[in-house]
Amino acid sequence: MSEPPTGPAVSHAERVVGTATVVTLSGDVDLVTRLSLVARLDALTDVPRPDLVLDLRPVPFIDCAGLGLLCRVRNRVAARGGRLRLVSGSASFRRILRHTGLSGVFQVLPEFEEAPAPVPAAGPEPRRGVVSAGQR
């Protein structure tokens, strides 16, 4: 009998940055570990207009089942009018996307840092009850 694969178990961490939920995946994303991610990613994409960022930089290996998971997430996000971004600086990951015809399907960023929302400039309080000449 053959032994099951013993690659690194996949784990994830979540944080909210601006309007986006950033999920950092760590470990192999493959046939063995895919099922441990499906339920959580489905929950994150089961809202109107999900804004999801999957940080794949700590992922050393992704197979066709992992690519299938990414496609599933993308389809669920698109069906709900949301946005999905992948973060990966890996040339091999980009090559895999290119060879599988998926390079134009995903928005892949080398890093993710969303700027905080701008703070409105403090100006004088509008005077209440006074109508200026332009408002008549």
Nearest alpha-carbon partner for 26 in 62, 1, 2: 62
> SS3 of 125, please?
coil
Q: Examine the pLDDT at 66 and tell me if it is beyond 50.
A: yes
Q: How much is the pTM?
A: 0.77
Structure-token pair, residue 95: 């090559």
Residue 127 lies in a domain: no
Residue 5 lies in a domain: no
Angstrom distances, CA of residue 64 to CA of 32, 110, 128, 130: 11, 22, 63, 67
pLDDT for 119: 46
Residue 56 lies in a domain: yes
* Mean pLDDT, rounded, for 121-134: 44
Please report, for the domain that includes residue 25, its CATH number: 3.30.750.24
Q: Helices (H) and strands (E) in the chain — how many of each?
A: 3, 5
Residue 119 lies in a domain: no
Tell me the residue range of the domain where 33 lies.
11-112
Residue pLDDT, tens place only, 14-43:
999 999 999 999 999 999 999 999 999 999
Residue 101 lies in a domain: yes
Which residue has better confidence, 116 or 65?
65
**Count of domains observed in the chain:** 1
Residue 125 lies in a domain: no
Residue 26 lies in a domain: yes
- Residue 72 near residue 78 (C-beta atoms within 8 A): no
